Amino acid sequence: MKLLKIATVCGLAAGAAAADPVEGTWQTEPDDGSYAHIVMAPCGGKICGQIARTFNAGGEYASPTRGKTLVIDMVPQGNGKYEGKVWRPSNNKIYLGKMTLDGSRLKLRGCVAGGLICSAQTWRRVQ
């Protein structure tokens, strides 16, 4: 019985260690007067980010974008870098996306026209 408990604890620790460092909740920069909390989690072998909460000058509000995927199929490239797609709710466009993790900051970049036109935000970790 004691061996089973040790194996279970070791298994839980290994599972926790396997979590991607970008997993968690992140706060976006304001875009068109609103910002959001994005929950980053595995989606298959990739990372996706879903809008969990939305805020404007009046506080938290029920945006129609809540529950939608903003960060799409990001693939880890190593050294805190990811590549995939990013959806921008304010214009309903999907961009080629890149993310770079730096401690409690996550820089996102979305580009069109083969990378000629890009927009970037730096998010901060909420939890």
pLDDT digits (tens, 9 = 90+) for 30-58: 988 899 999 999 999 999 999 999 999 99
pLDDT digits (tens, 9 = 90+) for 58-90: 999 999 999 999 999 999 999 999 999 999 888
pTM as predicted: 0.81
Rounded to whole angstroms, what are the CA distances from 88 to 6, 79, 94, 114? 46, 25, 6, 17
CA dist 59 and 74 (Å) reads 30
